[in-house]
Chain A
Amino acid sequence: MKDNGIIEITFHGRGGQTAITASQLLAECAFEKGFKDTIAIPIIGAERRGAPIQAFTKISENKMIRTYDSVNNPDYILIFDTSLLEIPNIKDSIKEGVTLIVDSVNPLNKAKLPKNIKIYIVDATGICIKRGFMHSSGPILNIPMLGAFGKVTGYYDLKTMEKVFKKEFGEERLEKNMNVAQDAYESVKEV
């Protein structure tokens, strides 16, 4: 959290991995849980499936958020695809004190990362495949990643997610979404 009480989150994904929707849903979950202001900022250019995609969310417990600038020193970074960690810009953006939440089965190679960071992993891809939670170009990673984020931070819980998903996706798809969210919520672990 910054001095001004604003928590900043960066999302790194690839086109089609639903990272941009994740930034919006995270803002909704935080607001639903009682955060007073939020902003979701997608960085949009010429989107292609597979291309690196960035998005940011800022959430604030008590203060209005009056900035639109992108996040340079995030408190949390959500990585939807471990191959993104090889990209120099993204690797360099991981600074001391940050918490990483990564879609990965294996622990990361810590030698390549700065010290004093926290790393959590969750097998978001595996959960989606197991639950058949897919769209035309692969697993819908945003829901499990949000589940993991909620567990790691405690900023919102499964109940909050249920309310938001109900509003966003309707009753019909609620159970499918919640199954995936819960699997991630329960299986995310620090490494």
Chain B
Amino acid sequence: MIKPELKDFLQSEETKIIKGNVAAAYAAKSARVQVISAYPITPQTTVVEKLSEFVDGGLMPGTQYIKVESEHSVLASLVGASMAGTRTFTATSGQGLFYMYEMVHWTAGVRLPIVMAIASRGPAPPWNIWADFTDVISCRDTGWMSAFCANHQEIYDEILMSYKVCEDYDVLLPKFVAYGGFILSHTSKPVIIEDQDKVDNFLPPLPDEKGWPHIWIDPNRPLMHGNLIMPSGFYSEFRMIIHDALIKSQEKIKAVAKEFEKTFGRSYGNGLIQEYKMDDADVAMLNYGDLALQMEEAVDAVRDEGYKVGMVKLRHFRPFPVKDIVEISKKVKVLGVMDRATAFGSQTGGPVSSEVKTALHGTKGTAMVFPMINGIGGREVTLEQQKEQLKILIKINETGELPEDLLYGTLWHGKLEVD
């Protein structure tokens, strides 16, 4: 069951009905971030608007709020602020993320624990401002970690967990916390805002004047930043340790999710994936983001009709939980992988399907993976459609037959009916 459950609301005094974006802003406030750099873009705008209200209203004493002229400058200024040894936050979306792309690589290269909320939107053209995870997924190879959120509470919770993971000295990498534009960013649901003392105890202390262990800006400890390195220098080794840290971050993510559950009572599976009714399932769907929550409802409805179906919610795209994917794919016979993102030219489905197929390559006794794509550019995916998706998997399992209208082996939902 994706948290929060009903009893969590009843126990909380601090439940607010807020937009997903506002939940992200509250998380940054709860995490006592020291520097925020902001440039608005739809559908992220209300994150930085809310934070400017907090700062202006004196609710975030000591926080520096920097207004800059572009997304590139957003991340450039945060790189500087983080190098100086501060906890930093920003948010963006789609085109804004693409505009800061140079600095996205830079942030991971300098190993800075910056957390960025992404109200994911479809890349232009044509202009699109609605849910589509292609934006964050296209930063796959930058060294950033990336998480998807299924509901409003998870946005708040995941941002808190992210600071704890990112600032771990064995990790020291930045992280995206992505959620569907409008579908989460602009809808309002109850969100528990946790007690400040509890959050303070959960998170690592803010960096002291010495800053991070590996990099600093300090006249007393002169250090040269960002210089050229010859091919014979340690560039290659440096890339290897980023890769190593990203792989190892899996264990940290799991440990933090466990500690989060203990502290706040909300479980996010093992942190990397979350299973729903998988124990006796014949077929299962892997979803991420908001559609994972709605898929729970679809699973229940299809189970009421007598079919053993399950759902796996992917919480992290990077690090990709290879071991967990292998394990769950041994539990079922058909595993549908539903992407809300595109990977043009891929013949193994959307970006997550491709990862799943790669993860299972060479392993025996795993499920047949069936790639599917839906909800691109915010196209609505209804509960009824999700039930149908599960029934396609049931049919494949029963008859061994694939649907006819596949596009290079992938089922694309939401094709326009042309008269």
Using CB atoms and an 8 Å cutoff, list the residues of chain A in contact with chain B: 24, 27-28, 31, 36-42, 44, 62-70
Contact = CB atoms under 8 A, between A and B. Distances in A.
B187 A40 contact: yes
A24 B17 contact: yes
Contact of B297 (A40, A42, A67): A67
Contacts of A62: 6
B189 A69 contact: no
A31 B293 contact: no
Contacts of A39: 187-189
Contact of A66 (B10, B187, B296, B381): B296
A36 B186 contact: no
Nearest to A62: B6
B68 interface: no
Contacts of B279: none
A191 to B, nearest CB: 32
A31 B17 contact: yes
23 contacts: A24-B17, A27-B188, A31-B15, A31-B17, A37-B6, A38-B190, A39-B188, A39-B189, A40-B188, A42-B187, A44-B186, A64-B5, A64-B6, A66-B293, A66-B294, A66-B297, A67-B294, A67-B297, A67-B383, A68-B293, A69-B294, A69-B381, A70-B380
Contacts of B380: 69-70
Main secondary structure of the interface of B (DSSP, over half): mixed
B294 A37 contact: no
Nearest to B127: A46
A27 B17 contact: yes
A24 B382 contact: no
Contacts of A24: 17, 188
B276 to A, nearest CB: 11
Contacts of B189: 37-40, 65
Top 8 A-B pairs, shortest CB-CB distance: A40-B188, A69-B382, A66-B297, A28-B17, A41-B187, A39-B189, A67-B294, A66-B293
B360 interface: no
A62 B383 CA distance: 20
Contacts of B294: 66-69
B290 interface: yes
Nearest to B290: A68
A37 B382 contact: no
Contact of B186 (A27, A42, A66, A70): A42
Contacts of B186: 42, 44
A164 to B, nearest CB: 9
A40 B189 CA distance: 7
B6 A36 contact: yes
Given A27-B188, A68-B187, A69-B380, A40 B17 contact: yes
